[in-house]
Each structure stands twice: as structure tokens, then as C-alpha cells.
Amino acid sequence: MINLILLLIVPLIGISYILFEQLSGRGLSPDKISFITMGITAAVLLSGLMYGFIPFNLNINSAVDFSLSLNINFITIPFLLLVVVLPIPILYFASNEIKENKPMFYLFYLLVYSSAVGVFISSNLIFFFLFWEVAVLSLFFMMSLWGKTIKSRKAGMKFLVFTQFGSLTLLAVFILLFVYTGSFNFYTIASKMSSVPLYIEYVSFFLLLITVMIKMPVFPLHEWLPDAYYYSPTPVTMFLSGILSKFGGFAFILFGFGLFRNILINLRIPLVLLGVLAAIYIALVASGQRDLKMLFSYSSMFYMALVFIGVSSGMTVAVSGAVLLMISHGFVITLLFGISYILLQRTGTNETGKLGGLTSRMPLLSIFFMLAVFASLGIPGLSNFPGELLIFIGTYSVAGISLIAIFGIMISTNYYLRALKEAMFGHLQNKLSGIKDLNRTEVLVFLFISFFILLIGVFPSLLTGVLGGL
Amino acid sequence: MLVSSILIALLGEKKRLSWAVSLIGAAASFMVSSILFSTYFNKDIIEKYTWFSVSGLSFSLSFLGNNLTLFMAMLVSFISVLVLLFSRFYMRKEKQSRFYAEMSFFIFSMLGLVIANSLLLLFIFWEFVGIASYLLIGFWYDREEPAVSSKKALIITRIGDLSFLTAVIVLFSSFKTFSISDIIGSLATAPHSVLVLSGALLTIAAFSKAAQFPFYTWLIDAMEGPTPVSALLHSATMVAAGVYLLIRLLPIVSIAGMSEFIVLLAFITAFISAVLALKERHLKKILAYSTIESLAFMFMAIGTLNAGGALFYLFTHAIFKSMLFFITGIFAIFFGTYDIYLLKDKRIRMSWVTVPAIIGFASIAAIPPFMSFFAHSALTYNFNIYENIAFVIVSFITALFSFRALFVVFGKRARKPLKKEFNTVFPVVTLVVLSTIGGVFLYFFGSIITMVQSFDYFSFISLAAVFLGVVISYFVFYKGKAESYTTKARDFAEKFENYRYEKLIITAGKAVSALGYGLAEFDSTLVKSVSTAAESTFFLSSKLREIENGDAFRYLTAIIIGVVAVVILAVVFV
């Protein structure tokens, strides 16, 4: 049996070790420390999955029910897998991209890592919020301090302003819940939900909705995302899209579906409609993008809109589909951003029109590119398919309009294939003829991500099996 | 099922000897499916696995072995063996391993598709077939045209894929099972609207995969792929998948009332493609149009609820069409051109391919001694009078274009014979023999699927029309007389040119992308406007920014102090 606190202690040791190294000024480089730390954490997670976890509880102040209590709830484990595993390949891109002030960067890196783990396992809402904030703030610093241009700072500021607003509404939800149930513990609140008056439930649900829509993000509140994704250093973009956007979905499922289920069910039709609109809108906007990184940013929002549809339906099947899609999307989008990063590095541009015919120079990269595109298109056997299938099956029975979103998949087929064709196929441009293919490390990193894409695609039961008590 | 597992194992191979491995794989699956076919004749065997299950709904995958599915498996693997033999000849200079890996994947998916019993599994293999054909059509990735046409193929078939997916979702939601046999067994219990919706969606799916009227353009462009791919794609795999889907799900389609609609569209398709084929110079594209037409024949049979006729014609068509593609491939390798008028100057009459080519083109036109004549008679069994008349007209044009191609290509006597080679001669000759004596199969076919065939007046009227077409094309294209007729025919054909239709599609595509760009503009304005708002915040905080001096450790210290302060405050005061 593995105590959950270990998942937090290991990264904290890593952080303090980096600090220590920084003070003593020698020894291991910080990226190696981060790698070892994350490796150990992954090992802890693995052994935990094999032998089971035991919850952890440390009471700090019982008057406000302020305690560090960690527990596995009904959707934690898939997210835990994502958040523990995904930063390991991201580290490679970080070590490539980040040259200045390394110790600080990896400090923040591990801080995001541990707080993301913390968000998914803490059942005390104060700590939930604390971890949530630490993750957002660290990403803000990573974004604005290591971004290349003045625009990255602005983007960082925008990101902070937006998400802080979302965090405040979330805090308001927690406070409302505390006022009416007298507890910050998720399980206590869940058992006392009957004592919350209906209008308070509605108010908190809407507040939660704002948080979710900012965080995921869903159409009307997505304005921070294109800037933030585009101008951040690639590892930060991967963090944002692979992990941070999942916070929104996680909160939506945990609180929206877990606590306010009745309201969710009452409002399901307008919410699904909103999701469908967002999906179509985003898919159309994405087809107007000429830059790979921007295209992937928008496509990322498209899948989040599908997740939103799935959760809003309030059907168990669709919610499990949403979880599956989020996990899968984390891996797929990281692969896509990795590809766009390597293309940018090698060719100096990310605009599909300026690339072309790269397959003959970069056969390995094109294999991964095709894999990622096929995964995004929801080809069976790759990871997006089970999630999308479950979402649509679940929502169809209560809200047939959700099927309109399939039209969005059609549009996304168009833009993905266009990007693939323009960048990889056709005649090779002369100035690109000296380009090099992936090196061995990059292949390993991509293989690592692809392994999970295939694993989830072929054996979705691995994830659906651990979605206990949904 | 053994068949698929063998081929999955096959997919792993990459390097040397890939040809041998994939050939052995295909041959083995042919053997296995023949053995299974003879063992399980007239029995239904279902193998079922649960893929995953969520809250009481289990997503099961099952295979069905009965006469129909195993017969199709046999056909697919048989054609595959021959195509792989031929590829050895055709693909000599190309990157072998990639080609054979993708080819095996293609064959594997198609085999999986034909023996699948669960709609979900059928969909999975359906998508695999689409992806494999995308990869194979775009095999020469460093050229511009294959890249464009593979993208086009995938986008158009994807319309069908997604409507199939929608149909699967709709059917699953109402029947709570994926099993095709269960669904068909309990059709009566379902609401009518569900069946109509799913029937319509399935029809769209089948039409886009089988390149019927609104979707046919991708198949013509798909000729950019290597010829063995075309041979496989046109005969037993990709396009046949559309027909096969409707054969399997015929009860749903007929209850949904789609049959008249299917027949109508099929006639439109047949007519358009026959006329367009008359005008085409590119030999492979002529064959592509004729494939579209033949598929339209199958859909006519399906629309008249004559699944047996459709299946038998599918079998016939697979045999003669792959043979014709082999011949085309031989021309391409030896002469480097597909243009029929250029081929005419190469003087290839009286070489060993002449007789097979005559048989092949005669099969397109359904001339009696060959199998396709019998297939036509089975096909038209359920036709009413209008359908028969339309069919006669179509057969006339068919004879015209197929013999035009024949007479033009073999217009001049050869000077030197073509080189022979086992890999080319064996597949062609096997198929020639089959399509000559194939009429015999008609009498065994009744035990595979219920089928009635009849020779009524219209069989002979259409036969007469065919002969008329042959005679006309003999005079027009072989003797080179009546030039004015040729030009007239061409003018006529040009009216049906698919560029108009293409333009419509392109306009629609442009409209979508214009909308996309417009929305992208709008979105970036939105993003910028929010930025402006953020900027003002930025300005307000400019005083505070003076602390920002680049020493990141300070921020960290500040954050840690802040967090500690909050915690202490919380603990002390509350």
C-alpha cells in the first residue's frame, strides 16, 4: 500500500534539492534532477496502482476544516496517470528550449508538477484551491519570464488575469459550499448537499461554469488561450494544453457532475447547445489558421468543447468518454506541439504554406505527424476514438443536437489533412533540402508519447476500469 | 478468427522480404478462409469479445462466420494474393517495405471488415480501410498530385465515415447492442424514425465509400496511386466495402425506404460515369469510371432488394476489373503512359495481353460467354420496366466506351512482343480463366446467398444494345471513320464534365474556408480587444511592476512568504 502523500513529497524533495544545488552551486543539473524526481514519482504511482493507495489526512485547523487530506475520488486515477506521466516527455523540450536561468525554470516546473498532482488528489477544497493557484502562478511565471518576446509577457498577464478571475469564482463556490455545509471536505460536502438551498446551488453552479469555461476553455471565454499558447515557450504550451486545460474539465466533472448533478441535468440542453456552438465555431476558426502552432491551439479548444458537451449531458457514459478524451487529448496535443516545435526549430517557420514536401527529408517525423493527426481525427485504435464514441453515445440519448458536433469533426478532418498535406507532402522546397530528421532522443520521446496514445486507443478498458463509482 | 490475427502479426514486418511475408500472409488467409468456408458451410459462428464496458453498456466486438462473410473473405484474400504477385512486378523500383506494410494493413482491414459482426468493429475496420487507402493513394508523397488526391479521397470518404459513425450511435442508442445479427433480428421493435435516420446515414456512408454520384470524384483522382493499389482498391476492397455494408444491412435500408432513392442515384451515377468514360483519354481513369458504373449496377440491385445479384456482380467485377488493372499496369511499366492514343502508337496488338484485354473489356460490356453476362442477368432480376429501359441505355453507352478503349489501344499491329514474366502472366491468366468460365459459379451461388437470375426479354434487348454499341465503336474508333460522330460524342460528353460539379464543391470548400478565415479574423479581434482590456490592467499595475527587476528568486521568495503568511493568518485567527 502506498500513501498518497508520497506523490507530493517526492517532487517537494526534488524542489528542495534544486534549491540546495542552487545555493551550493554545483552538482547535478536541474533538468536531470527533475527527470529523476518525476521518474520516482511515476514509479510511486505505478506501485500505488498495483498495490492500492491509502488516503492521507493531516488536520491543521479543525475550526474551518482546514486539513491536508488526500484521497482518490471517482475520476482521479486517469488524471493522475496523465499528470504524472506527461511532464516526463515535456521535460525534453524544456531542456532543449530553456537555456537561461535553468534552476529557476525547473523549480517552477516541479512546482507545477507537484501542484497538478495535488489538485487531482486533494479532497480538501482549501488545498485544492491552493494547489490550483500555485500551478497557475508558476505557469504564469514560466510563461512571462522565459517567453522570447514582449508579447509573451503580455500573453502571460492576460492568462493570469483571466484565470485568476476563474479561480476567484471557484473560491466563491467553495465558500458558498462551506457556508451551507460547514465543511471544506469534498466527501462531507457531498453527503450534505441536501442542506444547500436550491438557489445557492444554482448560483454556485453558474460560478463554477465560469471557472470551467475559462479554464478549459469554451468559446465565449477563450480569449486568453490563443495568445497564451502561441507566445509561450513550447514546454509551457504543452503544460497549458496537456495539463492545465484538464483542470477545468476535472473541476466540471468533480463538482458539476459530482455535486450539482440535478442542476446539470436541468440545464443540459442549453449547455450541450453551447458546447456544440463552441465546437463548430472553433473548428471553423481553426480552419482559418495558417500557422501550425496556432492551428493546434485552436484544435485543442475543439476537443475541450467536445469534453464540455460530454460532461454537460450529465450521462455517466458521456462523462467517462469525456475523461477518456481529456487524457487522450493530453498526449495527442503534446505530440502535435512537439512536432510543431521541431519544425519551427529546423525550418524557422511554422506556417504550413512555407513548408512542403518534408516527408522525403524527415520520414520519421512524418510518421509521428500522421499518427498524431490520425489520432486527432478519431481513427479507431488510437486514443481519441473511444472517448468521442462514448461522448456521442452518451449525449445522443438525452440531447440529439450533440450529433451536430460531428460536423465539427468533419471540418477538423479538413484542416488537419490540409496541414499535413501542405507541410509534409508534395514537392520539397529547395531551401528545405538540408534539413535533418529526428535524432534518437526525439524519436524516443515521441515513441513514449505514442505508446500511450496507442495504449489508450487499443485498451480503453484500462481507463474505464478505474473510473470507479461514477 | 485466425485470419485477422495472422495479418496483424504480418503488420510488424518492415524490412527485407516484406513482399514474401505479405504474400504468404495473404495466401494463408486465403487458405484459412477457404477452409473455414468449407467447414462452416451453412453454419453461423459468432466469436465475441468485450472491448470495454462503461456503466452497464458493453462495447463488444464480434466476428461472424457464415456463408456470406467467409465467401467475401475468400474473394478478398484471393484477389489480394494475385495483386501482391503483380506488385512484385510493378513496384520493383519503389520502397518495398513501406508499400507492402501498407498493403497488408489494407488487406487486413478489409478482411476484418467482411467478417465483422459488430457494427462497432465494422466501423473500426471501415476507418482502417479509409486510412490505408489514404496512405496508399498518397504513396508517392513527394509528388504534388497524389498528395492532393489522397487528401481528397480521405475527406470525401470521411463524410461517409462520420455518417456511419452517427448511424452506429443512433442504432446503438436504440438497440443497446452493436451486433448486426441482433439488430436485424429485432428491427420490428425499433421506432421508425430511428430506422429512417440510420438507413439514410448508412446510405450516405456506402455511397461515399463506393464513389457514387455526389461523391464519385475521389475515385477518379485516386488513380494517382500505384496501379496495384488501384487494382485492389477497385476490385475487392475499398469500394466494395460500401456495397458490402448495404448488403449486410439491407433490412434496415429497405425498411427506411431508401431503396428507390438508391436506385435513382445509382442510375444517375451509371449514366454520368459511362458518358464521362467515353471522353476520357487516360486508360486508368476509363477503368475508374467503369468501376463507378459497375458499383452503380450493384447499388441498383441493392435498391431493388436483390442482394444476391449485387454480390454476384461484385464477385464478377472484382475478377475482371483487377485483371484490366494488371494489364494497364503492364502498359505503364513498359511504355510509361496511360494515354490510350499514345498507347495506340506503341503498337501492342497481338502481344500476349490482347486476348485478356478483349475478354476484360467484353466483360465490362457484358458479352455472353463471359461471367459478367450472367451477372447482369442476375442483377436485373428485380427491375421494373423503367429500370430495365434505363439499364438498356446505360449498357449501350457502356459497350461504346469499353470497346472504344479496346479498339483505340489495340488499334495497330505490334512489331515486337511484350516480355512475359510469371508475376504478370499468372495473375492475368488466372483471372481470365475465371471470368470466362465464371458463369458456372452462378449455379453454386444460390447456396451462398439467396439469388434468382432470369433471362427475360430485357436481357436480350440490352444484349442487342451492347452489340450495337460494339459495332458503332468498331466503326468509329477502330476504322477511324465518322470523325464527326467522335467530336459530337465528345461535345455531348463535355456537357456532363464533372468540372461543373467540381466547381460547386470547390466553391463550397472555399466558402467554408472563407468563413474560417473570417471567423479567425473575428476571433483574433476578440482576442485583441480582450488584450486591450488586459493592457489597461497592465498600465494600472505599472507602479507595482517596479519591483520586477528580473531576479526571479525574489518573486519566489515573495510567493513563499505570502503563502506562509496566509497559512499562519488562517491558523491563528480562525
How far apart, in whole angstroms, are the C-alpha atoms of residue B83 and residue B323? 9
Closest residue in B to A389 (Cα) is: B169
Alpha-carbon gap: A334 to the closest alpha carbon of chain B (Å): 22
Q: Tell me whether residues B143 and A427 touch, CB distance under 8 A.
A: yes
Average pLDDT, stretch B193-197?
A: 81
User: Which residues of chain A have a pLDDT value below 70?
Assistant: 1, 25-28, 63-64, 430-433, 468-470
For residue B176, what are the CA distances in angstroms to B90, B168, B172? 48, 11, 5
Give residue B342's pLDDT: 65
- A317 CA: distance to closest CA in chain B (Å): 6
User: What pLDDT, in 10s, does the model give residues A72-113?
Assistant: 777 888 888 888 888 888 888 888 877 777 777 888 888 888
* Average confidence (pLDDT) over B223-251: 80
Distance from CA of B505 to the nearest CA of A (A): 14
Q: State chain B's mean pLDDT as an integer.
A: 71
What integer is the mean pLDDT of B526-537?
A: 64
Q: Any alpha helices (H) in A147-244, and if so which ranges? A: 150-181, 186-191, 198-215, 224-231, 234-239
Enumerate the residues of chain B whose CB falls inside 8 A of the CB of residue A413: 154-155, 158
Q: Mean pLDDT across the stretch B231-240?
A: 78
Most confident stretch, B153-157, B423-427, B446-450, B564-568: B153-157
**CA of B162, closest CA in chain A: separation in Å?**
7
Q: For position B14, what pLDDT does the model report?
A: 43
Q: What is the mean pLDDT of residues B2-6?
A: 48
CA distance A84 to chain B (A): 24
Which chain B positions have a beta carbon within 8 Å of A418's beta carbon?
Answer: 151
Q: Which of B55, B138, B534 sits opposite A425 (nearest CB)?
A: B138
CA proximity to A6, closest of A103, B556, A14: A14
- Chain A neighbors of B570, CB-CB under 8 A: 61, 64, 66
Contact B520 A154 (CB under 8 A): no
Neighboring chain B residues of A289 at a CB cutoff of 8 Å: 520
More confident call, B493 vs B139: B139
User: Distance, in angstroms, between A229 CA and closest chain B CA?
Assistant: 12
From first CA to last CA, the distance across chain A in angstroms is 23
For A415, the 3-state DSSP assignment is helix
Instruction: Show residues of chain B in contact with A395, CB under 8 Å.
Output: none
Residue B496 has pLDDT above 60, yes or no: no
* Cβ atoms within 10 Å, residue A188: 15
Whether the Cβ atoms of residue A249 and residue A304 lie closer than 8 Å to each other: yes
Of residues B147, B530, B571, nearest to A61 (C-beta): B571
CB B174 within 8 A of CB B136: no
Contacts 24+ apart (CB under 8 A), B534-543: B534/A154, B534/A157, B534/A158, B534/A161, B535/A154, B537/A157, B537/A161, B538/A154, B538/A157
Cα–Cα distance between B573 and A61 in angstroms, integer? 10
For an interface test with B, which of A143, A421, A458 has the most B Cβ atoms less than 10 Å from its Cβ?
A421
Task: Mean pLDDT check: name the lowest of A73-77, B129-133, B204-208, B560-564.
Answer: B560-564
Q: Which of A446, A432, A292 is nearest to A367 (CA)?
A: A446
pLDDT at B491 over 70: no
For residue B2, is pLDDT > 50? no
Write down the pLDDT at residue B481. 47
Poorest-confidence range of B22-26, B143-147, B150-154?
Answer: B22-26
Q: What is the pLDDT of residue B9?
A: 47
Closest by Cα among A278, A298, A299 to A372 = A299
Asked whether the predicted pLDDT for residue B13 surpasses 50, the reply is no
What does the DSSP assignment read for B420-433?
A: --HHHHHHHHHHHH
What's the distance, CA A122 to chain centroid? 18
Q: Do A410 and B571 touch (CB under 8 A)?
A: no
Identify which of A286, A379, A396 has the shortest CB distance to residue B169.
A396
Q: Please say whether the beta carbons of B160 and B151 come within 8 A.
A: no
Exposed/middle/buried for residue A97 (C-beta within 10 Å: 0-12, 13-18, 19+)? middle
Mean of pLDDT values over B553-559: 64
Does B31 score more than 60 pLDDT? Answer: yes
The tens digit of pLDDT for each residue in B168-194 reads: 888 888 877 777 777 777 777 777 777
Which residues of chain A does B127 touch, with a Cβ-Cβ cutoff of 8 Å? 379-380
- pLDDT tens profile B268-309: 888 877 777 777 777 788 888 888 888 888 888 887 777 777
- From A178's Cα to the closest Cα of chain B, the distance in A is 14
Per-residue confidence band for B572, with pLDDT thresholds at 50, 70 and 90: low
* This prediction's pTM: 0.83
Q: CB distance A285–B519 less than 8 Å? A: yes
Give the chain B residue nearest A387 (alpha carbons): B54
CA-based nearest residue to B299, from B288, B315, B313, B310: B310
Per-state percent for chain A, helix, strand, coil, to nearest 5? 75, 5, 20
Q: Which of B49, B54, B519 to mutate to test the interface with A (most CBs of A within 10 A)?
A: B54
In this predicted structure, what is the pLDDT of residue B501? 58
Q: Using an 8 Å CB-CB cutoff, list chain B residues near A321.
A: 54
B527 closest CB neighbour out of A130, A227, A366 = A227
Q: Is the pLDDT of residue B41 over 70?
A: no
What is the structure's pLDDT at B385? 67
> Out of A42-46, A340-344, B390-394, B423-427, which region has the weakest mean confidence (pLDDT)?
B423-427
Would you state the pLDDT for residue A96? 80
Rounded average pLDDT over B548-561: 62
Is residue B206 predicted with pLDDT exceeding 80?
yes
Cβ atoms of B411 and B345 closer than 8 Å? no
| Out of A161, A289, A427, closest to residue B142 by CB | A427
Say what the pLDDT of residue B482 is: 44
Cβ pair A452, A371 in contact under 8 A? no
Q: Considering only CA atoms, which of A101, A136, A99 is closest in space to residue A115?
A: A136
ipTM above 0.90, yes or no: no
Residues composing chain B: 574
Q: How far apart are CA A362 and CA A354, in angstroms?
A: 16
Residues of A in contact with B97 (CB under 8 A): none
Give me the DSSP letters along A264-317. HHHTHHHHHHHHHHHHHHHHHHHHT--BHHHHHHHHHHHHHHHHHHHHHTT-HH
DSSP string spanning B68-133?
Answer: HHHHHHHHHHHHHHHHHHHHHHHTTTS-HHHHHHHHHHHHHHHHHHHHB-BHHHHHHHHHHHHHHH
